[in-house]
């Protein structure tokens, strides 16, 4: 029997990147999947974000795997939109078992990084949006009484500062770091309350992942090209990993194989946090 047969997963940022990879794996493991994605551009983000076409393509790929799918264009900065998406998922599938708070942006580089709006967009997407999602799914998870698993996408920036020049104290970079630090508090508090209901809450901590967030012309020109030696180094001396490597960890955290794992941060960082 597949690990998530008969279960339902809701995934933010599901149109591409890590979210898409997670969705495909959970579908292969038998889950019904709701994918939420802004599928639009945020003005303070310089690299091309996901599109409605990306969302539709991932939806089709999931259906081809035999999954029941609900694709929703949803901006996680909008609390009402998140609540509506959760309600629609619960109505369609009769409940939610797996929650992946994955949506993320990087407004740390590009011409708008110094705008204070870059701070607001970063925190609204990666901290407010996570809280809106967890707050919306919690009543149903408790009421249904069948347990569940929540996994939040953090970052090595959840534990350390990465600024190596004054310019990096910009609103976009600081908003990213603040949000990624903040989700650890959300994870630990929700884990403490939901544990007695059989709901586990954890955080996966990737280092560099080969998605459009860093795999673009702007990231190198604005950040990595002038970085000091050893910046974001790891003990395995490896470059960015593929999204599927993070999916492996998320899949385990959400499975019964990790049924007594909660309140934890699982770093898939090649030893970045050791350096």
**Residue 186 falls in which region: left (phi positive, over 0), alpha (psi -120 to 50) or beta:** alpha
> What is the DSSP annotation of 8-70?
EEEEET-SSHHHHHHHHHHHHTT-EEEEEE--S--TT--S----HHHHHHHHHHHHHTT--EE
Name the packing angle between helices 17-28 and 243-254 (round to 10°). 50
Q: Which residues contact 196 (CB under 8 A, 6 or more apart)?
A: none
Residues in Cβ contact with 139 at an 8 Å cutoff, skipping those fewer than 6 apart: none
Non-local (6+) Cβ contacts of 168 within 8 A are: 108, 162, 223
Q: Catalytic site residue 164?
A: no
Q: Which helix (H) or strand (E) holds 244?
A: helix 243-254
Tokens linked to 88: 């629609």
Catalytic option among 109, 131, 132, 176 = 176
The residues carrying an active-site annotation are 176
């Amino acid at each position: 029997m597949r690990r998530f047969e008969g279960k339902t997963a809701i995934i933010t940022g599901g149109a591409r990147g890590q979210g898409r990879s997670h969705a495909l794996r959970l579908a292969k493991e038998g889950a019904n999947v709701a994918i939420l994605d802004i599928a639009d551009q945020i003005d303070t983000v310089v690299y091309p974000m996901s599109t409605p076409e990306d969302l539709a393509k991932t939806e089709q790929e999931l259906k081809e795997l035999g999954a029941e799918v609900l694709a929703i264009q949803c901006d996680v900065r909008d609390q009402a939109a998140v609540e509506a998406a959760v309600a629609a998922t619960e109505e369609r599938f009769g409940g939610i078992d797996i929650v992946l708070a994955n949506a993320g942006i990087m407004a740390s580089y590009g011409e708008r990084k110094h705008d204070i709006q870059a701070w607001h967009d970063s925190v609204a997407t990666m901290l407010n949006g996570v809280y809106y999602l967890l707050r919306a799914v919690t009543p149903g998870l408790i009421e249904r009484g069948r347990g569940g698993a929540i996994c939040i996408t953090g970052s090595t920036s959840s534990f350390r500062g990465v600024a190596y020049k004054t310019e990096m104290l910009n609103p976009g970079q600081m908003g990213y770091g603040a949000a990624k630090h903040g989700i650890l508090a959300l994870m630990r508090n929700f884990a403490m309350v939901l544990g007695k209901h059989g709901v586990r809450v954890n955080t996966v901590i990737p280092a560099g992942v080969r998605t459009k967030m860093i795999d673009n012309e702007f990231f190198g020109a604005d950040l990595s090209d002038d970085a000091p030696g050893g910046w974001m180094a790891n003990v395995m001396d490896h470059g960015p990993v593929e999204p599927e490597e993070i999916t492996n960890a998320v899949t385990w955290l959400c499975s019964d194989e990790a049924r007594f794992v909660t309140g934890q941060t699982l770093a898939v960082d090649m030893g970045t946090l050791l350096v």
